[in-house]
Amino acid sequence: MPATRTAAPREMSYLRILAQGLVPATTAPDVVEAVRRQLAVQGQQPSAVPHALILRADGATGSAVDAAFASGRLVRSWPMRGTIHITTAADHHWLREALMHRSDAWTRQTEARLGLDGAVLGRAADAALGLIGREGPVARARLIRAWQEAGLLDSDPADGGSWRRRHLLVRLQREGLLVQGPRRGNEHLIMDARDLPGADAGPGGSGGAAHGTAGHRAALAEIARRYATSHGPVSAADLARWTTLPQAEATRALEDAVEITNAADYPTDPNAARVPLVRARAAGGLQGSVRLLGADAGPGRDVLYLRADLPELLEGSRRAVARTLFLPSFDELHVGYKDRLCLTDAAGERLICPASNGMFRPLLVDRGRVVAVRPVGEGLLWADGARRSARLEQSVERAVRRIERRLSR
């Protein structure tokens, strides 16, 4: 993001913290409900997943996260964007089907380059499902060994072997045959995904969810609804980045979500984060505000979408949203948006992700802005614009200790 752009209002950061379930007014009763509200939580770093989830669930601990995966209520896979996410078991298949077409071209190109065809993929699926049927959920290394024993992979990782292994793992999860479930140490075991609720249990019903089916538009509207409810204020560009949908399709999905949630028969339930959505605009830099628009407003490049009750909730939660938060690597408050200027500037982005390898550092947020990062084994690294004080340093220390205690239980 260009460093010369005007920062978005700090109020927008506060509203996003509130929508994300990071304060008492919006936290979920448990980690499964926290994930359901978000729809998908980025999860490529297994050690960061419990941290992200307990932040959003009232009193949750590390053991509660383990139990949710062990019971099969939460799963880990590649449902969208070519990135690993955590979803509920109930949402896994319909979300995966709704967005799978966005990576079809990449899949075809990769398989041509690696020399993988339908016959190889079929044999890999049979070997994986047979192994899981005999042994139950298995570690990645055990599955790879089974593929090697079946002659599908060379035991030597050279000559593209490591890429073929990874592609088989991703492809069979994208196709809905495999998924990652119970945690063992810092790994999620691989299990059979066919017993999870099917796509017809999603918003498209018997119409399905896949691109080209009768239920696809309803699936995209539900994606937009949950994204705007749990991340808003957001733009169509934010949703397009989150899902890889074209921006015009993201705009239509958000507009559909506004229409659905404002219908007279919509089953509003604030306790389940089922609330009407509204449009808004932001202006005024860091000292500016987010202004709600009337019901007759339409889409536009600068239009934002958020839950209608968020401004009122903010009035009763101003102290809570301004407190110091200790967030894990890849937290949705940071990576869940295209435009993150309300949270940090270009220098802050470089502090969070200093290399081009996409590895993000855990971060500290105070009064809606990134003030420091905390790389494992390195201690705190303060942001250039952070106004260090005894108050801030004590708040940071308390926030870190609070999360560490909850993770250890």
φ/ψ of 364, rounded to 5, equals -110, 130
Is residue 15 within 8 A of residue 311, CB to CB? The reply is yes
Question: Quick check: 307 pLDDT over 50?
Answer: yes
Residue of 81 and 72 predicted with greater confidence: 72
Q: What value does the mean pLDDT take over residues 230-250? A: 97
Distance between CA atoms of residues 86 and 102, nearest Å: 19
Tell me the pTM: 0.94
Query: Residue 319's pLDDT is what?
Result: 95
Going by pLDDT thresholds of 50, 70 and 90, the confidence category of residue 110 is confident
Question: Quick check: 5 pLDDT over 50?
Answer: no
Distance between CA atoms of residues 64 and 53, nearest Å: 10
Judging by DSSP bridges, how do beta strands 325-327 and 363-366 pair with one another?
antiparallel
Is residue 259 within 8 A of residue 332, CB to CB? The reply is no
In the numeric block, the tokens 């749990």 are attached to 230
Question: Quick check: 4 pLDDT over 50?
Answer: no
The residues, any chain, with a CB within 8 Å of residue 205's CB and separated by 6 or more, are: 215, 218
Distance between CA atoms of residues 9 and 35, nearest Å: 27
Query: Residue 160's pLDDT is what?
Result: 52
The closest alpha carbon to 235, from 121, 132, 360, 337, belongs to: 337
Q: What value does the mean pLDDT take over residues 327-353? A: 95
Distance between CA atoms of residues 41 and 133, nearest Å: 28
φ/ψ of 317, rounded to 5, equals -130, 25
Distance between CA atoms of residues 264 and 269, nearest Å: 13
Least confident of 10-14, 163-167, 283-287: 283-287
Tokens of 393: 């340093």
Query: Residue 347's pLDDT is what?
Result: 93
Q: What value does the mean pLDDT take over residues 249-265? A: 98
